[in-house]
C-alpha cells in the first residue's frame, strides 16, 4: 500500500496543524448568505496518522552578502472575513455568526444528476446549489478554505448567478488536499461573500479516492523553510500478499472510524451484546485472516476486497462474532449464525434452526465433530470464526449448475461458481454475491443489507486496496485512444472516459467507443458525433400550445413528435400524434448528446453488439449513457435488439416525459420472460438504476423492475448513474 503524504504549513516550534483538517468554500459577491446548508459527511479512508515524510532541517550558516529588500510587498494570504455568516455543521467547526442581509438563502450539495449526496469522492464533481433572492446576474466568487489554525485558501472560482437557484460545479482534487498532517476527518465549508463580506455554510468531510504523491516546500510564519522530502517506496497491491497488523487496523478504521475490534454492540433499549471471542487482539485477527486466505485461495485483491466487504457487514466490522438474540428465529436457535459469515443451521419442524445442516458439513470438511457438539466454538474461537467464513466463501456457497433459473438470469459464466470465483469478475457480481450470502429483501428487491455491503465494497476498493491504481486505467494503455476522446467499456460494468491532451484535427466533436471483453481483448465498436445543447427538465402534459413562442421547427418523420415550439426563456413545447401536447422546461446548464448509429452490427470473438431502431426518431443519447447501453448490449450478446428511442437533438423526448437529456433507453420486449430477464440484468449490470415495465402477461415476473403506466410495449432502462464513469485526462 502506498501511504498518502500531505503538505503542511506550520509556525516555528509547531509540529503539525493538528489531526483534523476542515475546509469551507466561499463565494465572494458583495452580499451575504441567509441560511446554512445541510451537513454532508464524507469518510476519509486513511485511518492511521500519516508518517511524517520530512523533518525540519536548518542549513548551516554561511556568510552571505546582504540582500536588497524586496520592493514589492508580498500580499497577505486570502482569509475569510470577520463580519460574515458562519455555520459550523460538523464537530470540528466552531465559528458561528448570522447574516443580516439575507441575499443568499441557502446552499445544498447534489451530484451531477441533482440528487442529494451523502459523501464526496476525490475527482468526482458535485454541485453547490445556491438559492438566492435579488441576485440574478450578479457575479460571486466561490472559494474553498481549509478550516484550521491558518484558514488556507485552496480553491477559488468566479460564478455568475443566472437565476434564484444556481448550480456551482466543484471537483475535489489532489492539489486541494496537499496540506496538513493526518488526513483523517477533513471537512469543507461553503462560504458566500459579497460587499467584502462572506458567508460560511456546510462542512463537508472528504473521502480520499486517490493518492497524493509528494510534499511541496512551505514557509512557516517565522520564515523557516520545510525541506521537501519525497517518500519514494515502491508500493504493491495485495494480490498474493499477507496483511500486516497495520493493514488490518487501517481498513478497520476506514470502515468503522476507530481501531477497535470485538467490542460488542449496543442494542435497542440500551442492552449490550458482548462479544465472547477468545482473543481480541489485532495480531491474532491478522494471522487468522492470512492463514484462511492461503488455505481457501482468497488470493487476489478483488477476492479479498469482496470477502472483507461482506464479512464486515455481517459482523459490524468485527464487533460481534455471532448473531444476537432478537426477533428472528435463527437468533434463538441452537445453530444460530456464528463466525465471520454467519454459519447457520437449517430449520426443523419447530421453525427454529436446530438442525446442524451447514454446521455438519463444516465439521465433516474439518474432520472435527466438536463443531456440531459445541457450536459456540465457531463464535468464541478466533481460528474457527475466521476459518468458517472462508469455508463458506470458497467451498460452501455456490451458484447452481446450469440449467437453472439463477444461471439463466445471471449468465452461463456464473454456473457452479463459488463466491470466491465470482469475486474475480470485479464489480460485476457484487449484488449476486450478496444475495447468495444473505438473500433478497422482498420489499426493495435488493440484497439484505445492500446499502452497507455496497458502501463497504466501495470504501475498501478506493480507500484501502486503491484498486484502480494497481488494476485499472487500461484506457491509458490503449493505442487507439491517443488522439480521440474515447469511452472504454469493460465487461464487468466499469466505464472510463479518456480525454487526450491533444485531439486530432477533425475529431474534436467525436467520441470513440471501445469494448474490453472478459479476456481484456479490445473491440472498436464505433465513432459518433456529439453536440452540446440546453439541458431539459422532465416533461409534463399540457392542454394546448401556449402563445408567445418565438420560433418553431419540425421533428424527423417516422415518430410521434411533429412540431417544436420554442420560447424566449428556453422552454420547448411539443405537438405530436396520439399523446397530446408536452412541455419540456429548460434545465440548468448544458448536456452533451451523441448522434447514435441508426443501427449497429458488431460481432467478433464471441462479442456481439447489435441494435436497430423501431418506430422512433429519438436517436440522440447522453455520451455516458450510450457507453452503458453498448455495454449492456454486449452483456446481452444478442442480434435482435430493437431500440424504441432515447431523445431528440434538442434533448426533448416526446411522447415520453422521462427521457430528456438521453440518459434512458427504451427497447421492445423479447417474446419470453427468460430473454427479457436477461436484458434487465444486462442493463442493471451497467448501472441503469430504474427499470420500468408494463403490468400485463408475464411482465410483473421480471425481477428488478417496477411497474409504470405506458410501458406495455417496451422496457424502459432509465437514470443511468453517470457518477460511475471514471474520467481520465492525459
Question: What letter would DSSP give residue 392?
Answer: I
| Nearest-angstrom CA–CA distance, 314 and 213 | 35
- For residue 67, being part of any structural domain is answered with no
List pLDDT tens digits, range 111-126: 666 666 655 555 667 7
Does residue 314 form part of some domain?
yes
Q: What is the mean pLDDT of the chain?
A: 78
Residue 324, pLDDT > 80, answer no
Which residues, including other chains, have CB under 8 Å from residue 140's CB and lie 6 or more apart? 27, 28, 29, 31, 130, 158, 159, 160, 161, 192, 193, 194
Please tell me the predicted confidence (pLDDT) of residue 407.
84
Specify the pLDDT at position 31.
Answer: 40
626-662: b or e for each residue (b if 16 or more CB lie within 10 Å)? bbbbbbbbbbbebeebbbbbbbbbbbbbbbbbbbbbb
Whether the predicted pLDDT of 21 surpasses 70: no
pTM, 2 dp = 0.44
89 & 131 share domain: yes
Q: Give the pLDDT confidence of 655-673 residue by residue, as tens digits.
A: 999 889 998 999 999 999 9
pLDDT at 509 over 50: yes
612-658 per-position pLDDT tens digit: 999 899 999 999 999 999 999 999 999 999 999 999 999 999 999 98
Say whether both 503 and 462 belong to one domain: no
* pLDDT for residue 550: 96
Quick one: 503 and 618 in the same domain?
yes
Q: Residue 28 falls within a domain, yes or no?
A: yes
Does residue 309 lie in a domain region?
Answer: yes
- On whether the CB atoms of residues 34 and 239 are closer than 8 A, the answer is no
Task: Classify residue 65: in a domain, yes or no.
Answer: no
Which of 415, 433, 467 is where one domain is finished?
Answer: 467
Q: Tell me, yes or no, whether 95 lies in a domain.
A: yes
**pLDDT tops 80 at residue 563:** yes
Domain boundary among 406, 441, 467: 467
Helices in 529-672 by DSSP H: which ranges?
623-636
Pair (628, 686) in one structural domain: yes
Flag whether 427 is in a domain.
Answer: yes
Query: How many domains are contained in the chain?
Result: 3
| Per-residue model confidence as pLDDT tens digits over 100-111 | 566 777 777 676
Interval 247-254 mean pLDDT: 93
Per DSSP, the residues of 35-81 read SPPPPB-------SPPPP------PPP---PPPPPPSSPPPPPP---
According to the model, what pLDDT value does residue 55 have?
37
Domain extent at residue 321: 245-467
Both 697 and 603 in a single domain?
Answer: yes
In whole angstroms, give the CA distance from residue 130 to residue 134.
13
Cell numbers that stand for 177 in this block: 488536499
Average pLDDT over residues 193-215: 44
Q: Do 573 and 538 share a domain, yes or no?
A: yes
pLDDT tens digit sequence for 456-479 = 999 999 889 988 878 865 434 444
One domain for residues 223 and 295 = no
101 and 133 belong to one structural domain:
yes
pLDDT at site 654? 94
Where is average pLDDT lowest: 304-308, 557-561, 626-630? 557-561
Choice between 272 and 542, residue whose per-residue pLDDT is larger: 542
Q: Residue 26: what pLDDT?
A: 43
Sheet strands side by side (includes 126-132): 104-110, 126-132, 165-170
**Tens of pLDDT, residues 588-621:** 989 999 999 999 999 998 999 999 999 899 999 9
User: What's the rounded mean pLDDT across residues 71-75?
Assistant: 54
| Average of per-residue pLDDT across 191-198 | 61
Least confident of 135-144, 225-234, 384-393, 613-622: 225-234
In this prediction, residues 389-394 reach a mean pLDDT of: 95
Residues 197 and 263 in one domain: no
Q: Point out the domain boundary residue: 467, 486, 506.
A: 467
pLDDT of amino acid 500 = 87
89 & 222 share domain: yes
Kindly state whether residues 293 and 222 are assigned to the same domain: no
Residue 69 lies in a domain: no
Do 507 and 651 reside in the same domain of the chain?
yes
What is the layout of strands, in order, in the sheet containing 620-621?
Answer: 620-621, 586-595, 522-536, 510-516, 486-490, 495-499, 726-729
The three state secondary structure string of 471-538 is: HCCHHHHCHHHCCCCEEEEECCCCEEEEECCCCCCCCCCEEEEEEECCCCCEEEEEEEEEEEEEEECC
Amino acid at each position: 500500500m502506498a501511504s498518502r503524504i500531505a503538505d503542511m504549513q506550520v509556525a516555528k516550534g509547531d509540529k503539525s496543524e493538528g489531526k483534523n483538517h476542515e475546509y469551507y468554500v466561499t463565494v465572494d459577491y458583495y452580499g451575504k448568505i441567509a441560511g446554512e446548508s445541510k451537513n454532508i459527511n464524507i469518510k476519509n479512508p486513511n485511518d492511521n496518522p500519516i508518517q511524517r515524510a520530512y523533518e525540519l532541517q536548518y542549513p548551516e550558516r554561511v556568510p552571505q552578502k546582504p540582500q536588497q529588500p524586496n520592493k514589492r510587498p508580498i500580499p497577505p494570504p486570502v482569509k475569510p472575513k470577520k463580519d460574515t455568516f458562519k455555520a459550523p455543521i460538523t464537530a470540528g467547526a466552531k465559528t458561528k455568526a448570522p447574516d443580516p442581509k439575507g441575499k443568499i438563502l441557502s446552499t445544498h450539495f447534489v451530484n451531477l444528476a441533482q440528487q442529494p449526496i451523502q459523501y464526496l469522492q476525490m475527482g468526482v464533481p458535485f454541485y453547490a446549489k445556491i438559492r438566492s433572492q435579488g441576485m440574478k446576474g450578479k457575479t460571486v466568487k466561490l472559494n474553498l478554505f481549509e478550516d484550521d489554525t491558518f484558514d488556507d485558501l485552496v480553491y477559488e472560482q468566479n460564478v455568475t448567478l443566472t437565476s434564484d437557484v444556481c448550480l456551482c460545479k466543484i471537483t475535489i482534487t489532489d492539489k486541494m488536499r496537499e496540506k496538513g498532517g493526518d488526513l483523517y476527518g477533513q471537512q469543507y465549508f461553503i462560504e458566500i461573500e459579497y460587499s467584502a463580506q462572506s458567508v460560511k455554510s456546510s462542512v463537508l468531510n472528504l473521502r480520499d479516492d486517490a493518492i497524493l504523491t509528494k510534499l511541496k516546500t512551505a514557509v512557516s510564519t517565522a520564515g523557516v523553510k520545510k525541506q521537501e522530502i519525497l517518500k519514494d517506496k515502491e508500493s504493491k497491491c495485495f494480490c498474493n500478499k499477507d496483511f500486516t497488523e497495520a493493514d488490518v487496523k487501517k481498513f478497520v478504521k476506514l470502515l468503522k472510524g476507530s481501531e477497535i475490534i470485538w467490542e460488542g454492540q449496543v442494542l435497542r433499549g440500551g442492552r449490550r451484546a458482548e462479544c465472547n471471542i477468545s482473543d481480541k487482539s489485532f495480531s491474532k485477527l491478522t494471522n487468522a485472516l492470512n492463514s484462511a486466505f492461503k488455505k481457501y485461495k482468497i488470493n487476489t485483491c478483488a477476492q479479498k476486497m469482496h470477502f472483507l466487504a461482506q464479512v464486515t457487514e455481517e459482523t459490524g466490522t468485527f464487533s460481534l462474532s455471532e448473531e444476537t438474540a432478537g426477533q428472528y428465529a435463527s437468533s434463538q436457535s441452537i445453530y444460530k449464525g456464528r463466525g465471520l459469515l454467519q454459519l447457520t443451521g437449517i430449520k426443523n419442524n419447530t421453525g427454529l434452526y436446530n438442525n446442524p445442516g451447514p454446521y455438519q458439513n463444516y465439521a465433516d470438511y474439518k474432520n472435527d465433530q466438536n463443531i456440531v457438539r459445541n457450536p459456540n466454538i465457531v463464535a468464541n474461537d478466533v481460528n474457527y470464526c475466521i476459518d468458517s467464513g472462508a469455508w463458506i466463501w470458497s467451498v460452501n456457497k455456490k451458484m447452481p449448475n446450469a440449467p437453472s433459473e439463477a444461471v439463466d438470469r445471471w449468465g452461463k459464466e456464473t454456473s457452479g461458481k463459488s463466491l470466491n470465483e465470482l469475486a474475480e469478475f470485479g464489480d460485476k457480481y457484487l449484488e449476486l454475491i450478496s444475495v447468495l450470502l444473505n438473500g433478497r429483501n422482498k420489499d426493495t428487491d435488493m440484497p439484505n443489507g445492500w446499502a452497507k455491503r455496497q458502501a463497504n465494497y466501495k470504501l475498501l476498493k478506493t480507500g484501502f486496496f486503491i484498486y484502480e491504481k494497481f488494476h485499472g486505467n487500461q484506457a491509458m494503455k490503449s493505442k487507439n485512444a491517443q488522439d480521440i476522446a474515447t469511452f472504454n467499456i469493460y465487461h464487468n460494468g466499469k466505464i472510463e472516459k479518456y480525454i487526450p491532451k491533444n485531439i486530432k484535427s477533425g475529431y474534436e466533436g467525436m467520441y470513440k467507443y471501445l469494448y474490453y471483453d472478459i479476456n481484456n481483448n479490445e473491440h472498436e465498436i464505433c465513432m459518433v458525433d456529439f453536440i452540446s445543447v440546453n439541458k431539459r427538465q422532465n416533461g409534463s402534459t399540457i392542454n394546448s400550445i401556449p402563445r408567445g413562442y418565438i420560433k418553431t421547427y419540425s421533428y424527423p418523420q417516422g415518430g410521434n413528435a411533429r412540431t417544436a415550439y420554442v420560447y424566449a426563456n428556453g422552454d420547448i413545447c411539443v405537438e405530436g400524434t396520439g399523446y397530446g401536447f408536452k412541455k419540456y422546461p429548460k434545465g440548468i446548464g448544458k448536456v452533451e448528446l451523441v448522434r447514435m448509429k441508426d443501427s449497429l452490427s458488431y460481432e467478433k470473438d464471441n462479442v456481439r453488439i447489435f441494435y436497430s431502431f423501431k418506430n422512433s426518431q429519438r436517436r440522440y443519447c447522453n455520451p455516458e449513457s450510450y457507453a452503458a447501453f453498448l455495454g449492456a448490449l454486449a452483456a446481452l450478446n444478442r442480434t435482435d435488439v430493437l431500440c424504441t428511442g432515447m431523445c431528440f437533438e434538442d434533448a426533448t423526448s416526446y411522447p415520453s416525459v422521462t427521457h430528456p437529456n438521453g440518459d434512458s433507453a427504451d427497447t421492445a420486449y423479447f417474446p419470453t420472460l427468460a430473454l427479457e430477464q436477461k436484458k434487465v440484468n444486462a442493463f442493471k449490470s451497467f448501472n441503469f438504476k430504474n427499470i420500468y415495465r408494463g403490468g400485463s402477461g408475464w411482465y410483473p415476473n421480471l425481477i428488478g423492475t417496477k411497474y409504470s403506466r405506458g410501458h406495455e410495449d417496451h422496457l424502459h432502462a432509465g437514470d443511468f448513474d453517470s457518477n460511475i464513469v471514471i474520467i481520465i485526462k492525459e
